[in-house]
Amino acid sequence: MKTSTKQAGFTLVELMIAMVIFGVVLTGVVQMFTSTGRYHTAQEMMVDLSQDLRAVKQMMVQELREAGCNPNNPQVTMGFQVVPPPPLGAKSIIHFTRDIDNGDGDGIAEPDGDANDANENIRYYRTNDNCTGAAGAVMAAGVNNPGCLRRDTGALGGGQPVISNVTEFRLFYFDRNGNGLTDAQLTTKGDMEEIDTVRVFIRAQVESPTKVSSVEAQTQEMDFRVLIRNG
């Protein structure tokens, strides 16, 4: 009786077909994970931008409401200050003073009749840089290149970064009757005292716009008004 020495197995053709099928499946899995990773990255950038814009709004609303606060020394005029003329002007830079503390660091608000203490002489503006390194030139409203929104309490141009990738920062001013005030109407300290309401418009883009497939989702806007309490 003869014993068969043949062993069952795959032929070379069958093995190649199996490898092709495995490669197709593996490619699909990799593409799925890559797509999922890009989606989550895009979502994270959009959420981060939304949170940053809300934080900017909260800070600016609080500080603008206190513009002109001067409970102890009415002889010293505080409030909105004259800014450099166009092409910058009041549409691009907002500068105001307030008296909220005496600078003793005890955590208790103690106005002292001047605006010489920390966080009492404030400017907001946008510079031509990405919020890292030295500050670039101050950008005029209407220039849509990404820039850095800055806040400073010293000389113009050296402020601390607030939010990067800002493609528009524009300010609007209104008097007590709701009439808009132009740069030409905001050239003296007396003109600045006519400001009753400030509208702030900020547009910013995500850190890496090309990673967000929807063009509309690459940018977000924050548009709000602040009624000045101490006008």
- pLDDT digits 0-9 by tens, 36-54: 556 567 888 889 999 999 9
| pLDDT score, position 107 | 84
- pLDDT digits 0-9 by tens, 171-218: 999 999 999 999 999 999 899 999 999 999 999 999 888 888 788 789
| pLDDT score, position 149 | 97
Is position 25 within any domain?
no
Which run of H or E residues covers position 50? Answer: helix 12-65
Is position 27 within any domain?
no
Is position 39 within any domain?
no
Q: How far is CA 128 from the centre of its chain?
A: 14
Mind giving me the DSSP string for 83-121? -PTTTTSTTT-EEEE-----S--SSS----SSS-STTSE
Q: Give the chain's domain count.
A: 1
Is position 119 within any domain?
yes
| pLDDT score, position 82 | 92
Is position 200 within any domain?
yes
Lowest mean pLDDT among 62-71, 205-214, 220-229: 205-214
Is position 20 within any domain?
no
Is position 192 within any domain?
yes
Give the closest residue to 153 by CA, choosing from 197, 103, 91.
103
| Parent domain of 180 | 47-227
CA-based max dimension of the chain: 123
Query: Residues 173, 66, 138, 191: is their CA dihedral positive or negative?
Result: positive
How, if at all, do strands 94-97 and 160-174 pair? Answer: unpaired
Is position 37 within any domain?
no
Mean pLDDT of 14-34: 72
- pLDDT digits 0-9 by tens, 162-172: 999 999 999 99
In the three-class reduction of DSSP (H, G, I as helix; E, B as strand; rest coil), residue 182 is classed as coil
> How far is CA 57 from each of CA 18, 65, 142, 222, rounded to the nearest angstrom?
59, 12, 20, 8
